[in-house]
Structure 1
Amino acid sequence: MTRKYGERAASLRKVFEAAPEEEMTHQVLFERMGVASVGQADERTNIRNALPALVRCGYVLKKGLGPDATYRHSGKVKRPKAAAPRVRQRSALDRASRLVRTRAARVELQAANTPVPAKPKAVESGETVEQFEARGGRVEVLPTFWGRAAA
């Protein structure tokens, strides 16, 4: 969610927290947020676009569809953001050894996945037509158009 939508969602949460048991339509939300006047159609559209995110996270319950939809606070509170975890300072030696380990793992994986070249098959020597006929084979000559042209 972008910063603008985050701020809009925060103001929507305040409206829902102010009236936790009340079911509100789009029009009621627009009036409470002060954007019901004629020149603020873009802001109303942005509010309608921010509502589904609040519904997905379970902060708001939606009932109905389209202009008849009503929204109500679910009672769920927004969790505060956790403090950023402390990052351990790595020494140059730690970074270098980690890099070596990852490179070694990549090379090992690449070696395992590289196909082994197949051994070339020994070429069996075929027999000539004369050897085939000597063995008792019969060769059938099929007529061709270029064979007729030479004759």
Structure 2
Amino acid sequence: MSESKKTCADRVRAAFEQAPTEGLSYAGLYEKLAADGMDTDKAKDGINSTLRYLVARGYLLRTGEREDARFRRSGAAMTRPRLTESQRAERTKAKNRRRVERARAARGATVGLRAAMIPKPVRAAPTATPVFETYEEYRKRGGRVEYLPASWNSVNR
């Protein structure tokens, strides 16, 4: 395997294969990986994640806690867990459900953004309502109506 194609997990496993009987602490593992040409500062999260995975799979045994932890090979081979058909179907359903939920959430966010871009309608300032009164009301109030003569109307009131 070429050096450029090695993943973080490949390099961690290779470090433990070089020292099968001795255990490595965090510091010892980081030294081996740095000597192998790996930038351990950038890959710190990947290394820790790989160690947790290898311990969970039974490839490594861990003794001690936190800084005092030491890891050594258990002698078990790295095996991939095989899923039954029902487990695979359940995993596929869960994955599809998450995909649909992400798509629905993205659509909802898009609709919300579009709605925010639509300008709000300008509300007109309230205007004073004109006061109306009928002819009879005006006359009762004492108003006088002046009749203008028209050519077809010869009678003045």
Over alpha carbons, which structure has the higher Rg? 2
Q: Which has the higher contact order (CA 8 A, sep 6+)?
A: 1
TM-score (norm 2): 0.42
